[in-house]
């Protein structure tokens, strides 16, 4: 095989691997447009009050208000189910803030929470008035608190590694928790949910962004693309010189 053909072979191989890795990494993306309600984007609303009474959108923000003036318990949440949400690594991101909450107790933070139920793992956290509650059990009443000012918008990121079964929670790029994924004994599989799914606590909260990307693959580093481009350039120069 001629050298030029060898170079061409490796260039094609690199580009093929890069494209396949990129597609694998972004195969199961979910993102919410905060200019419309999630129910208009394929999510299912569940609650004991009208969706329009619990959620609204304005200025690119999704507003949640399940606080009842009479002190009644309100349930209002969204979920989406996808068979592709299997036991695979993922990155979840949410920008949100908690304005106020109603009732107190160990499960209070779950009036503004996110839960990710894969085939066998259960991962999630909730925002309380002065803390973040991390799921560390199979029910909302189990977990541990991390002191944090949740009254301001923060960029919360959950990264799950399916190889180690460990997930991390970061806020504005700072690591604040590292946890093992809990066995999924909720009865729900392949589901992402958020909002107020409790039967007691209520909350007023705002969501500015919400996204989920699943995939074990790591995108091809820029240096590999540079290497491939260099090989392509050499091949072009070689052909010009020969010609």
Quote the radius of gyration of the chain (alpha carbons, Å): 23
Which two three-digit tokens encode residue 134?
Answer: 């991390």
> Can you give the pLDDT at residue 120?
80
Phi-psi region of 54 (alpha: psi -120 to 50; beta: other; left: phi over 0): alpha
- Same-domain pairing of 66 and 105: yes
Asked if residues 5 and 203 have their Cβ atoms less than 8 Å apart, the reply is no
- Same-domain pairing of 9 and 126: no
Domain total of the chain: 2
Q: 3-class DSSP state for residue 114?
A: strand
- Same-domain pairing of 75 and 37: yes
- Same-domain pairing of 234 and 168: no
- Could you tell me which residues are beta bridge partners of residue 155? 95
Element (H, E) at 236: helix 222-242
- Same-domain pairing of 150 and 87: yes
Element (H, E) at 232: helix 222-242
- Same-domain pairing of 235 and 133: no
- Same-domain pairing of 14 and 64: no
Between 109 and 25, the higher pLDDT residue: 109
> Can you give the pLDDT at residue 22?
41
Compute φ and ψ for 229, nearest 5 degrees.
Answer: -65, -40
DSSP 8-state assignment for residue 2 = -
- Same-domain pairing of 195 and 224: no
Between 94 and 229, the higher pLDDT residue: 94
Instruction: Tell me how far CA of residue 42 lies from CA of 31, 79, 197, 210, in angstroms.
Output: 11, 9, 18, 14
Please state which of the ranges 5-14, 108-117, 192-201 shows the lowest mean pLDDT: 5-14
- Same-domain pairing of 1 and 59: no
Residue-number span of the structural domain to which 44 is assigned: 28-214
């Amino acid at each position: 095989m001629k050298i030029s053909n060898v170079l061409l072979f490796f260039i094609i191989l690199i580009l093929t691997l890069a494209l396949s890795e990129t597609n694998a990494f972004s195969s199961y993306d979910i993102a919410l447009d905060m200019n419309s309600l999630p129910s208009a984007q394929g999510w299912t609303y569940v609650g004991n009050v009208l969706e329009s009474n619990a959620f609204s959108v304005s200025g690119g923000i999704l507003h949640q208000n399940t606080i009842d003036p009479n002190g009644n318990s309100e349930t209002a949440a969204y979920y989406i189910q996808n068979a592709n949400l299997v036991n695979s690594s993922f990155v979840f991101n949410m920008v949100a803030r908690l304005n106020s909450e109603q009732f107190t107790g160990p499960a209070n933070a779950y009036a503004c929470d996110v839960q990710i139920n894969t085939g066998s793992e259960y991962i999630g956290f909730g925002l309380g008035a002065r803390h973040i509650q991390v799921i560390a059990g199979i029910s909302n009443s189990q977990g541990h608190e991390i002191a944090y000012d949740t009254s301001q918008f923060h960029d919360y990121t959950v990264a799950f590694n399916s190889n180690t079964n460990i997930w991390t929670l970061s806020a504005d790029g700072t690591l604040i928790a590292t946890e093992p994924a809990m066995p999924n004994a909720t009865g729900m599989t392949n589901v992402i949910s958020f909002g107020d799914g409790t039967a007691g606590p209520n909350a007023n909260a705002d969501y500015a962004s919400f996204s989920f990307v699943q995939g074990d693959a790591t995108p091809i580093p820029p240096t590999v693309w540079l290497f491939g481009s260099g090989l392509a350039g050499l091949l072009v120069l070689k052909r010009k010189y020969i010609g």
